[in-house]
Structure 1
């Protein structure tokens, strides 16, 4: 069976990678494209351009499986449990210094051997990587993919369109299919028979122009990506101030979620534009969405309509957000949220009861 290339995300994206592997097993032999190797595998010296070497599959060298892969989502054992047969690890320092450009180059290099498909998570970097790879390969690109099956002529992708109102089946008719998957919609399942992945080292070469571009923004702080977050806590005009918006961040941290804001919150400067949820900002699809002090304008509802469970807290009982919410609390955010935080802490402090 042909390989299916799965692009691994950063450490916190372990679930996303396992979701991609779950889909990849339906199409062929899963192979993870990870970051730089660790624990004894070869690494290029910083600042030294590396070259592709022969002697192994896809013009690469093979090494014993390390315990972890730096820049990858999880241990090699975990990847094997979800069916990964190969882990492609880069030796070029650009993999960490220029992550988007490096992963594009690596996927294009590996795609020369005609994989059945390339799967990436549909986060901010993933969408950019997928688009650039599709252009480089002159291949078809499908976004907003929520499911994949094997068809007679290649992968058949189920896409969520029109803000989740419709689902359509699509397939790529030219080149290697490049699919950007909304992994929060995929139920992950381990492989029936765990694999022992082999690490294959791929050495990349980059021109000096690639190194120069990244220097401009390498120290820029980047918020956690909203597009693949499972839990989002968003604040609106009802939080009252920048100090009040701190409640949003505290609740997001307590739930291991990502903070966000409405158009009004971003306009007031309480949160950066990258955290804005609406039809012209970020369109999100979390499993849980908490709206704090958000009335629920049409543009905001368009950005979060795909959420699984919606919990709204607002002082106006007629707020439109309550039409979409599964659970609503009418009250002052500054009174309700502290009580909610206290209850979360109380439940975390309860001792675990072991089953007999």
Structure 2
């Protein structure tokens, strides 16, 4: 059975949850094969966890340049791995992942499907399109399928196997045609989970009223063990950093629980979170669009509701 290639998201020491989701999705199409792009020694550190989640083969694409340039090394690695009789390529539908997918599809003259939230054994994919306003089913009819899967859409599963190793020799990167990484800064999330990997996300919008108002959002997120998000309106107003923006021009999330505090529900925001398993919204406006989407809606003052909810969650956790 041909390999289904999965581009591994990692931090050099740990595989991100989104990769385990891709491996689970890849098993529906064939034999999952993980492609690790990084500095020398990265694949060896990640191999066991990848094999535990079903990777039958681990392609090691390592070089000193791999972490110095954006996107290009990953595209080069996947192009090399495709030559090993591959059935499809899966990447996470992050900002970088979508660019990798687009460039790879262009190089291979392949079919490209973006923002997939499900796929079956025939290769038919469910997508969220037109800013989240439509759900469609699509299938590649020309070339190799290159599919960007939205993080949180597929449940990761442990599926222990023996993983064979294969080295890929990355070509030198042309600095004139590639973006070089000049500096890295640690995220300001503290002990909270990364936004796209969190099973619980609590987001604040313009209704939070200001940067100080986000303390209520953070306290509820911490009580639930979740990540903090923000709407574009809140980010544009300077209430919270851009890296936490959820929506069409921010990050797409699909947690088990999404709590929206003071978010009206513009279509651009809904596009980034509407596939969440359970949605809870708190808003003063009974006509807010997000209340129509929410599984549970509270018409009220978020500054009264959120602290009481955080207190109740903390109390019940202490009792359990």
Report the counterpart of residue 114 of structure 2 in structure 1. 143
Gaps spanning 5+ residues in structure 1: where?
45-64, 70-75, 352-356
- Offset of residue 317 of structure 1: 4.3
Per the TM alignment, residue 142 of structure 1 is displaced from its structure 2 partner at its CA by 1.0
8 A contact 1:85–1:197 mirrored in 2: yes
Name structure 2 gaps, 5 residues minimum: none
Equivalent in the alignment of 2:184: 219
Aligned twin of 1:203: 169
- Aligned partner of 2:26 in structure 1 is 24
What's the TM-score once normalised by structure 1's chain length? 0.75
* Separation in 1, partners of 2:271, 2:181: 36
Cα drift, residue 220 of structure 1: 4.9
- Correspondence for 1:181: 149
Can you list the C-alpha shifts for 1:1-54, whole angstroms capped at 9, x where unaligned?
A: 2111111112576432222222222322221112447xxxx659xxxxxxxxxx
Question: Would the aligned equivalents of 2:16 and 2:197 in 1 still touch at CA under 8 Å?
Answer: no
Runs of 4+ that moved beyond 6 A: none
Which of the residues 247, 252, 270 maps onto 2:239? Answer: 270
Contact 1:290–1:310 (8 Å) recurs in 2? yes
Question: How many residues are aligned here?
Answer: 313
Within 1, Cα distance between the matches of 2:52 and 2:85? 25
Greater C-alpha Rg: 1
Q: How far apart are residue 303 of structure 1 and its match?
A: 4.7
286, 300, 307: which one aligns with 2:276: 307
Matched, 1:235 2:204: yes
8 Å CA contact 1:122–1:228 kept in 2: the answer is no
- Tell me by how many angstroms 1:222 deviates: 5.7
Distance change in 2, residues 1:315/1:27 (3 Å): closer
Distance 1:127 1:300, change over 3 A: closer
Corresponding position of 2:6:
6
- Distance in 2, matches of 1:299 and 1:43, equals 40
SS of 2:229's equivalent? Answer: strand
Alignment of 1:110-125 (within 5 A): 110-125=81-96
Instruction: Look up the SS of the partner of 1:113 in the other structure.
Output: coil
Kindly indicate whether the alpha-carbon contact (under 8 Å) linking 1:160 and 1:166 is maintained by their aligned counterparts in 2.
Answer: yes
1:173/1:215 CA distance change after superposition, 3 Å: closer
Q: Distance in 2 between matches of 1:170 and 1:223?
A: 39
| RMSD (Å), alpha carbons | 3.2
Query: Deviation per CA, 1:53-110, whole angstroms, max 9, x where unpaired?
Result: xxxxxxxxxxxx95x32xxxxxx33322332121122330223333522211111121
User: Deviations 1:260-310 (Å, cap 9, x if unpaired)?
Assistant: 223431232112345444555555443322111223345544554333321
Taking the aligned partners of 2:82 and 2:214, their CA distance within structure 1 comes to 46
- Whether the 8 Å CA contact 1:161–1:168 is kept in 2: the answer is no
Deviation at 1:141, TM superposition (A): 1.0
Normalising to structure 2: TM-score of the pair? 0.82
Relative to structure 1, the CA distance from residue 292 to residue 108 in structure 2 (aligned partners, 3 Å threshold; closer, same or farther) is same
* Aligned partners of 2:73 and 2:173 also within 8 Å: no
222-231 or 249-258: bigger deviation: 222-231
